[in-house]
A and B are shown apart, each in its own frame.
Chain A
Amino acid sequence: MGRIADAFGQGHKALIGFVTGGDPDLGMTERFVLAMAEEGVDLVEIGVPFSDPIAEGEVIRAASERALSSGTTLDGLFGITERLREKTDVPIVFMTYFNPVYKYGVERFSMRCDRAGVDGVIIPDLPWEERGEFMEARGDKARVELISLVSPTSAARAEDIGRGAEGFLYCVSSLGVTGMRRDIGTGIADVIRTVKSATDIPCAIGFGISSPGQARAMAELADGVIVGSALVRIIAEQGRESEKPLREFVRSLRAAVV
């Protein structure tokens, strides 16, 4: 079994944390990832900064800009992943828009993921219908898994997407872009039920989960929860002093997600 599968086999619901790579710089990202892993996050998503992150709300968009101005590149992120692998086995997944991957070369990207210890990749602008190009270029040459997404509007397609999914299924909680929401509808629950009737792929819910209470409620609907903007906001506010508040927040999430 790969590391991603391990994340969902811990006897509790999986807690997934997201930080934007290179915000405020690569060295800090390395420390934040390690801190989150130590506080019990089961899987870490590292966001690859992009000039035009169309699925992101204000918080992650701003983090992306900070990371780009600190000079963050894919190679830099592979570099810190390699260093992290000397210290932790926490599953690491890159979240990136397709263009940086395409420009890097999908085959080269996949093989570099394997070498660096990146277990999966989430590409929000590469929907199910367009994943063929990635899958062909990666082929059997690399193990890195392409994480698919479903959303409350996936209805008719959710079953197919679930059946062919790798790693885990990223279940988008609600319409719109990423970011904290006070209320999260239950539309995604129906989609998860559809998926679960067809396959046993682990399902994790993300988008808008910003408090331990929300994390607990969402975890009941799925196999795990993803917290992004709420963590990134701590970094936006505390910058280089974020490690301690990140640890405290992750600890509170961990206590809620059981």
Chain B
Amino acid sequence: MKETVLMKGNEAIAEAAILAGCRHYFGYPITPQTEVAAYMAKKMPKIGGTFLQAESEIAAINMVYGAASTGKPAMTSSSSPGIALKCEGISYLAGADLPALIVNVQRGGPGLGGIQPSQADYFLVTRGPGHGDFHVLVFAPASVQEMADLTGRALHLAWKYRMPAMLLADGTMGQMMEPVQLPEPHNAFGTDNPWATTGTELKRPHNIINSLELSPEKLEQNNFSRYERYRQVEENETLWEEYLMDDARICIVACGITARISRNAIAEARKEGIKVGMIRPITLWPFPKAPLARAAEQVDSLLCVEMNMGQMKEDVVLAIRCQKPVDLCARVGGMIPTPDEVLAHIRTLAKGGNA
């Protein structure tokens, strides 16, 4: 480990990607993620990498497609409206089985919405951000340290499974500053990419990177084998954190910034003798269904704390197969729930009511 530095979440993403070996960044500015691009613009030229401000988000994602086709680690970053624009390109990446890192520092929506933080892209990114049958790996960091750590992991797994990965933060996580220990420079990618278009040197058949398949039988097979890979990802790569769950009668489910707020509320509720814990999904796809199903057998109720209108709550209800009531504490449009608001929900649930 190197020494500790003080960084914004957005900077930590950029530096962690560079340390993992990523040398190709294509982006387009949008608040609140612009520091990722600004950092890359400063640093990439000094280390022989590529920083390119594209003419649009769509151009940037297609440049990622081009770079990834040659087996080079490539990434882009944006915020909610920009991610919506990139969805076509993400679908093409998935259809061509290309690895890439896409960073989404969410802001309020829908539409142009606002520039304040949000978690309202949950549906968009966990269901497959684009047309067709596919998934992307989705990581939800809850500290600047995790912004760095999960960036490296996302790049590594994208290459391991040849699929796009997304780092899903919100504006607060992107803008806040915390001490962070960065890893030593390492290679998060395999050096051997037999599928990449690197020149045949007349020694092998052409590699073709394409999402078009003329035979429906073959296209079906491609989808089947892709979903076999997704099954392996679900089996091996699901991440979550359990916090004070041993004796919990109420289980909070929250990710990212709302998980941090919930920890403050849990500390207060515990002082009042309320047995409340938390399961924090760290990967949103794959979603930690099994630990939630286990928790549902133990607790009386669950409470989702989200900066959206309850999008993750649907996954929680599915994961626990409606065994227990699931309540929602939500703020939207750039507003952030306070620990007191979460505490009020916890108290109501502890009394056996619906919050």
The answer to whether A and B come from one shared complex is no
